């Protein structure tokens, strides 16, 4: 939700409350809060899958089923991956809790690459332009469309998964 700051003041500082609801008959989770910057009420409603997917035993971070996201576009997922990579790339600290957080950041990046790949149609070689529907997402795509080609995404995902395994083997 931090990718979508308050339209009025651009703040992301909100104490969110959440609960289950329905969205046009579909199960959903509603997040409500008041912007701490300008007191504007904010709300997000995220539809839940009809049949929830179950993470694998080795999944530190898991976002959902086989269909692509309706919450974030492909470019926003790339921004999420970049944050995970940045947070996870700091040198080892020797502090097990801090290093475990860094490993989770890397796992977040790997899972975000998985989410981007879900936007590529079966048999396709790139994320379609229609998969970038937010200003952040479109800007990320326009900076380098080649970063959304299947080959590039699979290579980056594999590289970060391998690096995570190597760096955090003992955790």
Distance between CA 132 and CA 139 in Å, rounded?
9
Q: What is the pLDDT of residue 92?
A: 72
Phi, psi (deg, nearest 5) at residue 78 = -65, -40
Which residues form the domain of 32? 1-48
Does residue 57 lie within any of the structural domains?
no
CB 59 within 8 A of CB 110: no
User: What's the mean pLDDT in 112-127?
Assistant: 97
Q: Do 110 and 146 sit in the same domain of this protein? A: yes
> Which runs of E-coded beta strand occur in 16-166?
17-23, 26-34, 41-47
pLDDT digits (tens, 9 = 90+) for 16-56: 999 999 888 888 889 999 999 999 999 998 887 776 666 66
Q: What is the domain-level CATH number for residue 9?
A: 2.20.25
State pLDDT tens for residues 47-104: 877 766 666 667 778 777 788 888 899 999 999 999 999 888 877 778 888 888 999 9
DSSP calls for 92-107? P-S-HHHHHHHHHHHH
What was the pLDDT predicted at 1?
A: 79
pLDDT at position 153 is 98
Q: How many domains does the chain have?
A: 2
Report the pLDDT averaged over residues 127-134: 97
């Amino acid at each position: 939700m931090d990718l979508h700051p308050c339209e009025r003041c651009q703040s992301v500082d909100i104490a969110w409350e959440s609960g289950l609801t329905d969205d046009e008959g579909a199960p959903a989770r509603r997040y409500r809060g008041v912007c701490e910057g300008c007191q504007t009420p904010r709300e997000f409603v995220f539809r839940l899958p009809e049949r929830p997917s179950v993470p694998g035993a080795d999944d530190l971070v898991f976002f959902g089923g086989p269909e692509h996201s309706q919450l974030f576009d492909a470019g926003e997922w790339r921004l999420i991956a970049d944050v995970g990579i940045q947070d996870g790339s700091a040198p080892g600290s020797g502090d097990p809790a801090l290093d475990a957080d860094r490993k989770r950041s890397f796992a977040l990046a790997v899972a975000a690459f998985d989410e981007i790949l879900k936007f590529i149609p079966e048999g396709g070689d790139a994320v379609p332009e229609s998969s970038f529907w937010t200003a952040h997402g479109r800007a990320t795509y326009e900076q380098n469309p080649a970063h959304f080609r299947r080959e590039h995404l699979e290579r980056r995902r594999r590289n970060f998964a391998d690096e995570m395994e190597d760096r955090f083997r003992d955790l």
